[in-house]
Amino acid sequence: MTVFIAILSRTAKALLTLLAIAVLNFFLIHAAPGDPAVVLAGEAGAADPQMIEQLRERFGLDQPFHVQLGKYVWGILQLDLGYSFRQGAPVIDLIADRLPATLLLTLTAFVISLVFGIALGVAAAARVGRASDSALTTLALLFYATPLYWAALMAVLVFSVWLGWLPGFGYETVGASYSGFARVLDIAKHLVLPALTLGLFFMAVYMRMTRASMLEVSTADFVKTAKAKGLSGPAIRRRHILRNAILPVVTLAGLQAGQLVGGAVLTETVFAWPGIGRLMFESLAARDYNTILGVFLVSAAMVILFNIVTDIVYRIVDPRIGARA
């Protein structure tokens, strides 16, 4: 099977999976307690039965469940995620406005965690049993065990409040009206703390996985053969050990890449980062069902997309996968 056919097959399966997730989310959201019509009527100061009934009729909440589900699924097939009566705008527009910020945060955190995790794992494996190896392993364990929200709060307190090195909140400086490279630099400064905070946990995971995988591969026969041929240590680690040890790390990274979106909910909330994670948090508090469903669907699509990309990268890193397929 060629790579192209494999991509088409995975895409078809992904679309069916996404549709099933959308239906499941719809069931779960409507099974949760609370009525958005009651919330909106209460905020308007007119929580009488007549007002609530009018709101339910306006939102379509008075219709049978199967009718609501059918309209929702039909809307998804037309790329219509519904209308947010809380925000007063189509859900797809709200997500489109927030999605670039989330992608910037999650992709930056992913690259940071993967690059530094692999680099530190290689360094620890090359110095196994030494003090530097113990220090790196302990540091990785510390990052792994630290709660994300606590790390985010401490990062704001230390680097923004105490030291004043980096901005602690927002996407860019409010009222600065930067343009061009100055605006890019301003966004980059605001990105440092949330990206590092989000990437710390995953960096620790990749470091420990890389170290363990390299130590396992280093005992293989082909590595002993390379040593017998007189190859230097760095060349053996680069050409033989790392190339084979990186495969489980790629698999794990692909599976966990989607989890960055879930972690972004806390990170975006603490750092006031205007992404879909914060949008979901605000929508949950407001019982904005359509927006919640839209964010869930987009998040699931991102997870599935990361998995497809992982499969493609895996075939590139290890051509044997494509040959067996």
Is the pLDDT confidence value at 51 over 60? yes
Query: Does residue 253 contact residue 310 with C-beta atoms inside 8 Å?
Result: yes
Tokens of 127: 């110095």
Same domain, 150 and 58: no
Is the pLDDT confidence value at 315 over 80? no
Is the pLDDT confidence value at 239 over 80? no
Average pLDDT score over the chain? 80
Give me the pLDDT at residue 48, please. Answer: 66
Who has greater pLDDT, 208 or 285?
Answer: 208
Domain boundary among the residues 51, 77, 103 is at 77
Domain boundary among the residues 54, 77, 100 is at 77
Can you list the pairs that 310-317 forms with residues at least 24 positions away whose Cβ atoms lie under 8 Å? 310/250, 310/251, 310/253, 310/254, 310/255, 310/257, 311/6, 311/10, 311/254, 312/3, 312/7, 313/250, 313/254, 314/247, 314/250, 314/251, 314/254, 315/3, 315/6, 317/246, 317/247, 317/250
The answer to which of 108-117, 278-287, 291-300 has the lowest mean pLDDT is 278-287
The DSSP symbol for 260 reads H
The answer to which of 57-66, 134-143, 171-180 has the lowest mean pLDDT is 57-66
Who has greater pLDDT, 84 or 3?
Answer: 84
Give me the pLDDT at residue 198, please. Answer: 86
Same domain, 131 and 67: no
Task: Give percent of the chain above pLDDT 70.
Answer: 86
Same domain, 149 and 46: no
Same domain, 20 and 152: no
Give me the pLDDT at residue 64, please. Answer: 80
Give me the pLDDT at residue 308, please. Answer: 77
Residue 86 lies in a domain: no
Give me the pLDDT at residue 227, please. Answer: 72
Same domain, 103 and 224: yes
The answer to which of 114-118, 213-217, 320-324 has the lowest mean pLDDT is 320-324
Is the pLDDT confidence value at 6 over 70? no
Same domain, 113 and 37: no
Q: Report which residue type is found at 244.
A: N
Q: What is the pLDDT of residues 82-128, one digit of tens each?
A: 888 777 788 899 999 988 998 899 889 989 988 999 888 888 888 88
Residue 62 lies in a domain: yes
Give me the pLDDT at residue 322, please. Answer: 52
Give me the pLDDT at residue 212, please. Answer: 87
Same domain, 64 and 122: no
What confidence tier does 38 reach under pLDDT thresholds 50, 70, 90? low
Residue 167 lies in a domain: yes
Give me the pLDDT at residue 263, please. Answer: 65
Is the pLDDT confidence value at 197 over 80? yes
Same domain, 146 and 178: yes
Same domain, 227 and 142: yes
Who has greater pLDDT, 44 or 234?
Answer: 234
Same domain, 135 and 244: yes
Across 145-170, average pLDDT: 86
Is the pLDDT confidence value at 314 over 70? no
How many angstroms separate the CA atoms of 231 and 222, rounded? Answer: 12
Is the pLDDT confidence value at 203 over 80? yes
Across 128-142, average pLDDT: 86
Task: Give percent of the chain above pLDDT 90.
Answer: 1
Number of domains in the chain: 2
The CATH number given to whatever domain includes residue 124 is: 1.10.3720.10
Domain boundary among the residues 28, 51, 77 is at 77
Residue 83 lies in a domain: no
What confidence tier does 3 reach under pLDDT thresholds 50, 70, 90? low
Concatenate the DSSP letters of all residues of 53-97 into one string.
HHHHHHHTTTS-HHHHHHHHHHHHHTT---EETTTTEEHHHHHHH
Give me the pLDDT at residue 284, please. Answer: 80
Same domain, 167 and 113: yes
Boundaries of domain holding 95:
91-319
Tokens of 5: 């056919």
Residue 113 lies in a domain: yes
Give me the pLDDT at residue 80, please. Answer: 83
Give me the pLDDT at residue 245, please. Answer: 79
Is the pLDDT confidence value at 23 over 80? yes
The pTM for the full model equals: 0.81
The DSSP symbol for 271 reads T
Residue 324 lies in a domain: no
Residue 325 lies in a domain: no
Same domain, 69 and 97: no
